[in-house]
């Protein structure tokens, strides 16, 4: 790949006395009043983040779109206000939040190619506080691209689950099915936002309720791909599902669509071509979440290709379609009403497991008032969950019957 990587881990963290170590157990806080992201006289940008204590950090840039990513050992972002801190004309936007347990991330969208020229964590030993000072300098697009790349250390690498995990044997109805429930978004990526409600929170709530219902039925094992408000990349979600030995993968969303007309529960499956423009927009929105959170998806196709067996994929696609149809009729039956074209398809990265039948359920669209109301209503969610369990029951039965036929 030949990219250069800009990395710094602060060693100050390691060399502390007992008293300081005690203090370090509290999360570092960002002091907003003395933090800033501002343009400099020499056409660069200076980032000054004032922290209540030194923390290990690293930074790197990503291309297409141009972003600067700063990761910290967990930082408490409470009170961090981008309107106060962001004064630069060269930084279009910023996001911050938990990236994965114990780590926080700050992402700046760069309007022009800027490389890290200098980065330093200055520690004030009397106050115990620290200042992260980063200077970005203008470079050409080619220089920017040459310097950008994904950080790759053991600690940060994507789980290497695709190697060494045996493909799941297709179920024939002789054991409880393992259902991977995938609550969309999380952490730095909130998903849709309407009236103060966040998609990541609503779908996590629903996923927990669904997991409980599946386990209570006694017919399923169920796990979530994320159990807290943390960021999980799309490829990681598949890996986690494979690690749990999932028979079925259900991704749960409640997105907003810009045209605002989308309403009602909709079930999506994977296809190369989007079934309609809105489905295509959703798939792009989801991949964009990973881009916004600073995940480089460019190598993912290779990763997936290496485990992709065409035959398995074809078979999985047929099983996914059947699952989607069952979901549509199961949810339709229990809720009493479902969208006109309730089964659509598009190129959702999260549905690309070659060996696990996968569907994405848009419970409703937060951009629609009555959908949002439904999502917030326990009784409505309970009905949908009954529909999903019914759908899984029916599908599992059919799918096992077909598997037995194939074996003969």
Sites of contact with Zn ion (CB under 5 A): 184, 191, 253, 255
d(CA 242, CA 160): 11
Residue nearest to Zn ion (CB): 253
Shortest distance, CB of residue 310 to Zn ion, whole angstroms?
29
With respect to Zn ion, which residue has the nearer C-beta, 192 or 396? 192
Least Å distance, CB 235 to Zn ion, is: 16
Nearer to Zn ion, 255 or 371 (CB): 255
Nearer to Zn ion, 54 or 184 (CB): 184
Distance from C-alpha of 214 to C-alpha of 386, rounded to nearest angstrom: 9
Query: What is the rounded CA–CA span in Å between residue 72 and residue 113?
Result: 23
Angle CA(335)–CA(336)–CA(340) in degrees, nearest 5? 105
Least separation in angstroms between residue 177's CB and Zn ion is: 25
C-alpha 221/C-alpha 249 separation (Å) is: 12
User: Least distance (Å) from Zn ion to the CB of residue 191?
Assistant: 4
CB of 296 to Zn ion, least distance (A): 20
* Residue 361 CB, nearest approach to Zn ion (Å): 10
* Nearest to 399, CA basis, from 172, 154, 165, 150: 172
Cβ nearer to Zn ion, comparing 113 with 184: 184
Q: How far is the CB of 362 from Zn ion (least distance, A)?
A: 8
Q: Which of 144, 10, 138, 140 is nearest to 70 (CA)?
A: 10
Reading phi first (left if > 0) and then psi (alpha if -120 to 50, else beta), residue 79 is in left
Enter the tokens of residue 50: 């004032």
The nearest distance, CB 192 to Zn ion, in angstroms, is: 6
The tokens for 311 are: 């035959």
Using CB atoms within 10 Å of the CB of residue 205, give its burial: 0 to 12 exposed, 13 to 18 middle, 19+ buried: middle
Dig out the tokens for 192 from the structure.
């849709």
Buried b (16+ CB within 10 A) or exposed e, 276-305: eebbbbbbebbbebbbbbbbbbeebeebbe
Residue 60 or residue 268: which is nearer to Zn ion going by CB? 268
CB nearer to Zn ion: give 70 or 192.
Answer: 192
Report DSSP state, residue 73: E
Nearer to Zn ion by C-beta: 184 or 357? 184
Which residue number, 289 or 316, has a Cβ lying nearer to Zn ion? 289
DSSP 199-235: HHHHHHHHHHHHHHHHHHHTSEEEEES-SSS----HH
Nearer to Zn ion, 119 or 351 (CB): 351
- Cβ 254 to Zn ion, closest distance in Å? 7
Q: Given CA atoms 239, 241, 245, 248 in this order, what sign does their dihedral have?
A: negative
């Amino acid at each position: 790949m030949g990219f250069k990587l800009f990395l710094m881990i602060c060693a100050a963290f390691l060399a502390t006395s007992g008293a300081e170590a005690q203090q370090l157990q509290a999360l570092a806080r960002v002091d907003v009043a003395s933090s800033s992201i501002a343009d400099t006289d020499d056409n660069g940008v200076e980032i000054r983040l004032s922290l209540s204590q030194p923390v290990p950090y690293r930074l790197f840039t990503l291309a297409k779109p141009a972003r600067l990513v700063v990761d910290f050992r967990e930082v408490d972002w409470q009170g961090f206000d981008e309107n106060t801190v962001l004064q630069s004309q060269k930084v279009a936007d910023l996001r911050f939040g938990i990236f994965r347990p114990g780590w926080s991330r700050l992402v700046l969208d760069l309007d022009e190619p800027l490389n890290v020229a200098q980065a330093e964590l200055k520690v004030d030993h009397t106050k115990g506080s620290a200042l992260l000072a980063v200077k970005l300098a203008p470079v050409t697009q080619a220089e920017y691209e040459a310097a950008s790349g994904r950080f790759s250390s053991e600690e940060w690498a994507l789980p290497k689950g695709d190697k060494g995990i045996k493909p799941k044997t297709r179920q024939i109805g002789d054991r409880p099915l393992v259902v991977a429930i995938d609550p969309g978004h999380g952490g730095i990526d909130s998903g849709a936002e309407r009236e103060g409600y966040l998609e990541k929170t609503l779908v996590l709530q629903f996923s927990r309720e669904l997991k409980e219902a599946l386990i209570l039925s006694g017919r399923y094992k169920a796990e979530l791909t994320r159990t807290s408000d943390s960021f999980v990349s799309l490829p990681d979600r598949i890996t986690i599902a494979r690690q749990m030995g999932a028979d079925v993968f259900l991704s749960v969303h409640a997105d907003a669509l810009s045209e605002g007309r989308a309403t009602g529960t909709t079930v999506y499956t994977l296809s190369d071509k989007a079934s309609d423009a809105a489905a295509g927009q959703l798939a792009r929105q989801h991949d964009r979440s990973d881009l916004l959170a600073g995940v480089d998806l460019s190598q993912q196709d290779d990763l997936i290709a290496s485990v992709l067996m065409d035959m398995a994929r074809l078979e999985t696609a047929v099983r996914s379609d059947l699952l989607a149809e069952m979901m549509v009729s199961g949810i339709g039956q229990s809720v009493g009403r479902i969208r006109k074209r309730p089964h659509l398809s598009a190129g959702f990265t999260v549905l690309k497991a070659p060996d696990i039948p996968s569907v994405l359920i848009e419970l409703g669209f937060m951009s629609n008032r009555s959908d949002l109301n439904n999502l917030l209503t326990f009784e409505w969610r309970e009905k949908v969950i009954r529909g999903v369990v019914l759908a899984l029951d029916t599908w599992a039965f059919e799918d096992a019957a077909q598997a037995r036929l194939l074996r003969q």
